[in-house]
Chain A
């Protein structure tokens, strides 16, 4: 078996280790891939392919959300092993800024979306919760964000989204804005000026890629 075949086999096994039983299996195969001198970009792609397989299983109800998130956790641990090891052909830098609106303490949904974005190779700047409009605008400015994600879980806090979107679009019209949260729906999100509404974590990547493609 030559080196290329060996590397290919390692990547295939790495991809299959995403979601496999055993907390350390994925990390062991990332370590193996690094020792085989497989380019970081290829290792990341294998991890993303593994997550994508599980996401489709989640969509078909063949896999539960808790186990999907466990897989995301292990992929993020694997990606941490690669941090600082950039090489030519690394994932494109598509900064995403994300946060929960002012007055709203609920951040689980936002945390999940942020984790999924990271697992798919996006650079995420998490502003946390209880974030005012100025902080969202500043976050977009400082990071050159192409995507802004805004979350709200209460009917009393979601109305702030309209002002945030207006303020961000006024200064950075090229930034795409995605919103999510229990009290929202597609119609309301569009009326606020959002570019996309995310109903669940399952579809966030597809919807993000779709609005980036509209440029």
Chain B
């Protein structure tokens, strides 16, 4: 079990501000809303303290699913990726959370416009934090002469949301204040859980490569793109 607490410096927060504004419509956002957004971001940047956990598990068996000591990842798409990797492939489970400070702050907001913008800011921030962990995992892998794929989360693609339970238990996510209710919904609200493949050779990093669905809002590969990502 490894804990990762990134250093969130000024460039990170400036990038967060830029990405949040872009997600909200960029230049189409009115001047008055920009001011409100800036004030909320100034506050959030003092309240948000991302915490992350990750752990590596070897793969015991690989068929239509990936079977680890922690349990089975019941995704045919992800298993297909793993079967294409070199035999030393392992799975890293990860969880990243912004913590309860974000939820506490957003629960106090009554204006719909601010609720919408702050929620977007939280989503952007937790994704950026997870990206930092992903970069850290890549650094760790490269030190071993290995590569990593992109993160794959329960509730997306063909991995049912119930896969949250596997990751939650594998990492004992309660130690960083993450809980899971009876419906496999995590709290705090801005929390990401995922699995990442690590191996000497990871030729395909996302299952989108094999997916024929033409209307997926979460696709991470341009349609018609061949070759590695």
The smallest beta-carbon distance between B156 and chain A, in angstroms, is 10
Whether B111 is near chain A, meaning CB under 8 Å from some CB there, is yes
Inter-subunit contact B30/A21 (CB<8 Å): yes
Q: How many residues on chain B are close to A (CB under 8 Å)?
A: 26
Contact A70 B115 (CB under 8 A): no
The listed residue (A66, A105, A112) touching B25 by CB distance below 8 A is: A66
Return chain B residues, CB-CB under 8 Å to A21: 30-32
B36 → chain A, closest Cβ, in Å?
Answer: 8
Report the bound CA distance from A157 to B115 in whole Å: 22
Of B117, B181, B182, most A-chain CB atoms within 10 Å: B181
Which residue from B24, B28, B116, B184 sits with its C-beta under 8 Å from A156? B184
Q: Is A9 an interface residue (CB 8 A)?
A: no
Given the interface pairs A23-B32, A115-B112, A154-B161, the reply to whether A65 lies near B184 with Cβ below 8 Å is no
Cβ-based interface call for A42 (8 A) = no
Contact, CB under 8 Å: B183 / A73: no
10 A-B pairs closest in CB distance: A103-B183, A64-B25, A70-B113, A69-B113, A69-B112, A156-B183, A64-B28, A73-B111, A115-B112, A156-B161
**Residues on the A chain within 8 Å of B113, using CB:** 66-67, 69-70, 72-73
**CB within 8 A of A155: which of B25, B28, B119, B161?**
B161
CA distance A65 to B114 in the complex (A): 11
| A residues less than 8 Å from B8 (CB atoms) | none
A154 close to B183 (CB less than 8 A): yes
Of A69, A106, A155, which is within 8 A of B155 by CB? A155
Closest Cβ–Cβ distance, residue B16 to chain A (whole Å): 17
CB of A111 within 8 A of chain B?
yes
User: Does chain B have a CB within 8 A of A104?
Assistant: yes
B119 CB contacts on chain A under 8 angstroms: 108
Instruction: Pick the contact of B185: A70, A105, A108, A112 (CB < 8 A).
Output: A105
Residue of B nearest to A70 (CB): B113
